[in-house]
Amino acid sequence: MIVLGVDPGLTRCGVGVVNASPGQQPRLVHVAVIRTPADDPLESRLLQIDAALAEVIDAHQPDAMAVERVFSQHNLRSVMGTAQVAGLVLLAAARREIPIGMHTPTEVKAAVTGSGRAGKEQVTTMVTKLLRLDARPTPADAADALALALCHGWQAPMRAKVAAAL
């Protein structure tokens, strides 16, 4: 299963594509960070992210997408930008009829490190090991996107089985 994980952000939006087929070693397909200038108008930044995200989707044809579930942060401006980009991701998936999962940071950390309280360094270290990468993905947004993709790739088959059983 090819999964596109997106760590939403206005200034840095991490995108990571992995092949996370059940029973197989997960494999890196693509990783990048979409960057937009902080002094550009909001609508321009969203348009840039949308176009770059569409390129990744078109190039890699993911079977599923995963996005970080927006949670309350102390910086209202930051959480608004994150939520707006997450909305773009949901819309991009809906337009292409790609199944999407939303995962909390705690859920993703637990999936890749075994602890929902893991720090960014631990997540990056585990993503590097799990994908057998020669170098650590940087910045943290890239590693977070890969962690989202891994989390979803591992959980989606089980969630589908549970849904089918209901």
Active site amino acids: 7, 68, 141
Three-class secondary structure of residue 91 per DSSP: helix
Q: What is the DSSP string of 21-71?
A: -TTS--EEEEEEEEE--TTS-HHHHHHHHHHHHHHHHHHH--SEEEEEPP-
Q: Which residues contact 21 (CB under 8 A, 6 or more apart)?
A: 1, 153
Which two tokens mark 154? 């591992």
